[in-house]
Amino acid sequence: MASLKLGSKSEAFHREGQSWYINLFIFLYLDFPLLSRSALLEKLIEELSITNESVLQLNQLPGGAKSFELVAKFCYGVKIELNSMNVVSLRCAAEYLQMNEEYGEGNLIAQTEAFLNEVFGNWTDTIKALETCEEVLPHAEELHIVSRCIHSLAVKACADPMLFNWPVSGCNETGRSAVFWNGICSATKPQPVSEDWWYEDVSFLSLALYKRLIQAVEAGGMRPENIAGALVFYAKKYIPQMNRQSSFKNLNSGSTISIPSESDQRSLLEEIVELLPTQKGVVHTRFLLRLLRTAMVLQANQMCRENLERRIGLQLDQAALEDLLIPNMGYSVETLYDIDCFQRILDHFMSIDQASSTTSPCNNIVEESQLIEGNNSLTCLTMVANLVDAYLAEVAPDVNLKFPKFQALAAAVPDYARPLSDGIYRAIDIYLKAHPWLTDSEREQICRLMNCQKLSLEASTHAAQNERLPLRVIVQVLFFEQLRLRTSISGWFFVSDNLENSSQNPNSVLPMSKNNGSRHQMEATRGTGMDDMRERVCELEKECQSIKDEFQKVVKTKRSWNIFCKRKSQQSNNPKLQKDSNVKTQ
């Protein structure tokens, strides 16, 4: 820690309490040493002599009684020690008292200014000096001490600390390790310093000063990842809600940091959201979702929440399901989770995805091979589609989840983004089970959200026996499964023909095998596979035929019932027909 001793006389001043004043009779016996150093005191004493007053009050002196005591000691040549904790207040007090070079060479302004330049060369001393600026902030701002401290810290934070010799907090202990030879310490070996070495040091600054420091390091060219890391560290330190789980338990009682009020936490959160870098992926999606949940708890302003929702929507493909399950915070809510919030986040992602697409995928046939080849946009969209299906499956058991909300959320993702429809089918099945009062029309609409052609074999087998699905959907599932099996059988026949041709022509090369061993293996498994395929096709044809017969019976019964109801209504409306029918009955 930098320090500077001024004066040569021993301690001779004593101060009682914080109330203080200057009595005029002191100057009659001490040859006015204070007046010879301060232009302001000289002027004020002259005014007092005219009015015959004996007391001079300096209530606006920066630093108060403590600063005046050091100023007086300096003027009388008493030993004082300048350090990073008192130099700012002394510099402001010297400026206020006008202690310039006209009132003595090496006056207090010049002494404190020279020492400040030494402080700015040291990281730790600069932080301490900046913290003390809070006590005399208007005067420190006027003398540009605050801006000079922030500039000094920003330059050091943006530079490589291993290239310079300034003390970095913790580096003296952990940044170097001793090298021993025969038990004797011969040298020190520098260790690499991580990029987050400055996070904790600057976290003790107030929000106003910390904000200015972050803006300074951003202007200095610091990587957005490092800026985001510093803000995350600061938020976790001063927003206790960020460190609480969903049960919102109290913080560890051993914490030495006083818990801020909810209003202070809300203001801090809103400021941090504004300072976060806007680049995609710089801030982890999990942290953004935690910020959003905390913003809802603290009732942050609408602009802050919309900002967070937009940022999350920008990188929704990197989110985890458990983080998206945000509980509803209001008192008049219906659903357990905030589904409207997730809908807005999803809408942001879809709008960005559509804007970034050069061609409309709806007008082109998108094959699954494009996903394997690395179509980045479509891959992100597929990840979001899987996330939406999983989210729907989690919220589907909620009996208060209305049908339009479920339908809108599921339909937000286009069909081409789902290589398989198993996820959306599972969500639909859970929703139908939890909402048995849905009408047939609503069941038909919700089942249109899935593509029966994209169901896996396991999902198709389950859907074919699912009584909660409409009969028309079950018929479609059986039809496409039968079509898939017939296509597979045709492939087996094609392979069989190739095998027979290769056996008749020994010079031909079998494209599916490199040796005869694989050909014999194919011939051995061909018979078993063909039998299984034929048996499965026969079973599906029987099931499909029985369902068609049952469907036709239902249709005929419905038609006859409609004709009967129609005739009865006509008779009730026409008295003549009703009379004729009575005569015929008699």
Distance in angstroms (rounded) separating the CA atoms of residues 107 and 122: 24
- Please give the sequence-ordered ranges of beta strands (E in DSSP) within 20-109, or none if there are none: 22-23, 55-56, 80-83
Q: Spell out the residues 6+ positions from residue 59 whose beta carbon is closer than 8 angstroms to its own.
A: none
Instruction: For residue 4, tell me if it sits in a domain.
Output: no
Helices 302-314 & 285-297 angle (0-180, nearest 10): 160
Instruction: For residue 83, tell me if it sits in a domain.
Output: yes
Distance in angstroms (rounded) separating the CA atoms of residues 552 and 547: 9
Tens-place pLDDT, residues 73-89 = 888 888 888 999 999 99
Q: What is the mean pLDDT of the chain?
A: 76
Instruction: For residue 526, tell me if it sits in a domain.
Output: no
Instruction: For residue 127, tell me if it sits in a domain.
Output: yes
Please give the structure tokens belonging to residue 429: 């099945």
Distance in angstroms (rounded) separating the CA atoms of residues 21 and 536: 104
Domain of residue 119, residue span:
13-158
- The whole-number pLDDT of residue 557 equals 59
Instruction: For residue 449, tell me if it sits in a domain.
Output: no
The alpha carbons of the chain give a radius of gyration, in whole angstroms, of 41
Please give the structure tokens belonging to residue 143: 């003398």
Domains of the chain: total: 1
Instruction: For residue 447, tell me if it sits in a domain.
Output: no
Residues 180-197: what's their mean pLDDT? 60
Query: Out of 135-139, 256-260, 276-280, 413-417, which region has the weakest mean confidence (pLDDT)?
Result: 256-260
pTM of the complete model: 0.72
Instruction: Examine the pLDDT at 156 and tell me if it is beyond 60.
Output: yes
Tens-place pLDDT, residues 317-367 = 999 999 999 998 876 678 899 999 999 999 999 998 777 664 444 444 444
Distance in angstroms (rounded) separating the CA atoms of residues 53 and 204: 46
Instruction: For residue 82, tell me if it sits in a domain.
Output: yes
pLDDT grade, residue 545 (50/70/90)? low
Instruction: For residue 77, tell me if it sits in a domain.
Output: yes
- The whole-number pLDDT of residue 3 equals 55
What share of the chain in percent tops pLDDT 70? Answer: 63
- Residue bearing the bigger pLDDT, 514 or 233: 233
